[in-house]
Chain A
Amino acid sequence: MSQENMTTSDPETTNTESDQLIDTDPGRGGLDESSGRGSVTSANTVIEARNVNVWYNDDQALNDIDMRIPKKQVTAMIGPSGCGKSTFLRCINRMNDLVDAARIEGELLFNGKNVYDSDVDPVALRRRIGMVFQHPNPFPKSIYDNVAYGLRLQGKTDNMDQRVEDALKSAALWDEVKDRLDESGTDLSGGQQQRLCIARAIAPDPEVLLMDEPASALDPVATSQVEDLIADLAEEYTVVIVTHNMQQAARISDKTAVFLTGGELVEFDDTQKIFENPESQRVEDYITGKFG
């Protein structure tokens, strides 16, 4: 548990060894509820939401979400602005803990363990669930230090140069920055910054990657690079991606969840089914652009 730049004990990491924090007990997640939406079998569920409700002060942002996100697949979330996609994403790695106004009810299981149980350390949880934010937010540090940030936090400091290079290559940024790793990450263009944030998130090898509109600031070339990256990542990681781009969701995801205004999960199924033959009329209207 030794991290770079840490001289004293963590005030937050009251729990023990981070890697053993959440017991991986597939048995628990596998309460065979065939009612689970989206026909994700319990065996390959990695994240499961059960009756998740979220309020910001008195405004409800998520309404009774039930969902099973499958392992090593790409799950896309689409829906109109303000319907709670980012909120749901932030619930998964407990980033909403940082929002004072937020209140969550229900269960959110990661590998079968409720992440809101009192014995779960959110810091350890976030080390296993990486996140790319809606707005690029690189640190005002060098490009290298940005990518190395998570590695140093977690003490994965052997082969740093190689790991940084790999992460930058995966994020399709290496060729543009390989000669100026010492320059500040904030001097990059918006799209480059977003790819830097992706590199930063994948460098420490998280199990799940949450991406909030990672391609919204990218040009078509970089977008397709990031989409390729997501396809590659899905061979090893579970990827949950929010996007406003229907084609993108259709291209890259295996499952698609459609949220609609009011924080409801209206439909969650195989991507193909959602786009070709949605159950709900509202979803069809949304996808075909009649609404939202």
Chain B
Amino acid sequence: MAAETQSDTDFGEVSQLKGILFEYLSLGASLLGILSLAALLVYVAVDAFGLEAADPLWFLIYFVTLVVPTLGFVGYGVKNRAVGTVGGTSLLYLLGGLAATLALSILFIIFDAQQWLLVYTVGVLPAALVFIYGRMKEWQQANLLTPIVFAVGSMLGVFLKGPLATFPQKWIIYLWTLGVPVAALLGSRALNRDGRDAAVATAVGTLAIAVAAALAGPALTGLNSDVTLLLGLFVGAPTLAYVARVVRTGHDGVAGLLMPVVIFGGMLLGAFVVQQVAVAQPESWVTWSYFTNPPSQLSAEEAGLFPAIVGSVFVITNVAIMTLALGVATSIYLEEYAASSGLLGKITRLIQVNISNLAGVPSVVYGLLGLALFINGLGLGLGIVLVASITLSLLILPIVIISSQEAIRSVPNELRQASYGMGATRWQTIRNVVLPQSLPGILTGTILALGRAIGETAPLLMIGAATTTFAPPTGYFDSVTVMPLQIYAWSSQPSDAFRYGVVAAGVVTLLIVLLTMNSVAILVRNKYQNES
């Protein structure tokens, strides 16, 4: 009887040994991966920023002024979630604004600002107005009219460029073509949140900040008025609007606004102390002139990555547009339209298998394809932007297609059924249900694929891209080099200064561009995720 009473209260024990073992094994694996990546980054950073030259005191000063306060604040933010959120968001506004400014500055090196002014004024703006009017009034024809207005207007804009002789200054163009939409956007967001007065104040304030930055900025910073305008517009105005909102609504995390102050204040304080004490500073290769100089072959100190940065951004922008358009269209066709049974179904499956195989083809082969098809076949120039963009697009297209298909497939069938059941056509179902639901997944796949494209060298060498160019490309038929190619060229230089310092700085720059690109894409993705 004793045994029976015991089994009533004693439940015994189920061994969890395997589970625990597995847990720690996977933890170990991830730690190993992360640590080796971190070691690599530290190694590169030491070279790129010339940290070896710095006095230990230098590290101590920055540790005290920057690292400790920042870490302390982050710790506080982790404990007090509201503060953490506000702190993170305000940093994001600042950095996002900086990234936008940089990207636009580079894009306007390539694209003609005056041309953009015309296209915007007669094409983009009217089309946007028609679209918004249609949305507000539930006016159905707007959806049809918008692309027509856009196409006709843009063409008109292109043709207007010839006859027109005088154009306003660059910062005025920016104010009209970028400032007004940003002001309207911020204003409409304020309208939804806080009503009419706040909206007007935000919009007018945004424009005022932009104008002030353009007029007063150059004297204060030594930058061009168009750059300071962009800074005011994308960094100043959104951040201020955010600060104002947090303060006015009495958000719990008001203290989080100090986060950027702590970081940038720490940097300034550190610089000040270092100057006073006069300790040896690191001899960084990553300097402002590194970003703005052409690549010198002779002097490592004067070498810069400017043409390659512009080239990379230009090519990647093209690749992103092309692969998104082609990849999404193809994946939608394969998932939503293509027959899955019968003869057509067999053909579809064959195509599907081929796409999967193409994703695994080495990149050199794509280079060869580009060479044969576009240069030998179509007679396009060696190593020009157009050929580079198309070749890289072909390279990552299969990856984009496969990941987009995966995202589209993950949309629950019940939602499609619901849409069809309401009398939606296939296109309406795709447009209203499938695409919004799968967009985050599609973007994730595309981001990863673009990351691969931006680091490619082999296919570009195959299509005859120069490893070094001294001026950035300004059109689709200019020859182009990209960051990895330039870095590769430097790495074969005889002098150590090139092989370690300049190359490491190039790697850091490449990583920065990649991270910026990814964070913009992630922001876009999160926005959609929240909406749907």
Contacts and interface: CB of A to CB of B under 8 A. Distances in A.
B143 A13 contact: no
B414 A135 contact: yes
Interface string A1-19: 0111111101111000000
Interface stretch (A36-44, A48-56, A119-127): A119-127
Nearest to A141: B532
Interface in B258-296: none
B192 to A, nearest CB: 10
Contacts, number: 105
B420 A153 contact: no
A204 to B, nearest CB: 8
A129 to B, nearest CB: 9
A174 interface: no
Contacts of B412: 137
B425 interface: yes
B424 A153 contact: yes
A117 B144 CA distance: 31
Interface in B407-427: 412, 414-427
Main SS of the interface on chain B? Answer: helix
A138 B532 CA distance: 12
Interface stretch (A63-71, A154-162, A216-224, A233-241): A154-162
Q: Which of B146, B421, B437 has the most A CB atoms < 10 Å from its CB?
A: B421
Nearest to B413: A98
A4 B422 contact: no
Interface residues of A, number: 42
A123 B427 contact: no
Nearest to B532: A140
Contact of A200 (B340, B422, B425): B422
Contacts of B417: 95, 98, 133, 137
Nearest to B342: A100
Given A7-B143, A133-B414, A140-B437, A160 B138 contact: yes
A13 B532 CA distance: 27
A9 to B, nearest CB: 9
Contacts of B26: none
A137 B414 contact: yes
Contacts of B357: none
Contacts of A157: 138, 140
A275 interface: no
Given A4-B140, A126-B423, A157-B140, A139 B428 contact: no
Q: Which 6 pairs across A and B sit closest by C-beta, in order of nearness?
A: A127-B423, A157-B138, A2-B140, A137-B414, A126-B423, A10-B425
25 contacts: A3-B140, A3-B428, A4-B143, A6-B143, A6-B144, A7-B146, A11-B337, A11-B425, A12-B426, A12-B427, A13-B425, A95-B421, A100-B340, A125-B423, A137-B414, A139-B418, A140-B415, A140-B436, A149-B424, A150-B422, A155-B140, A157-B138, A157-B140, A197-B418, A200-B418
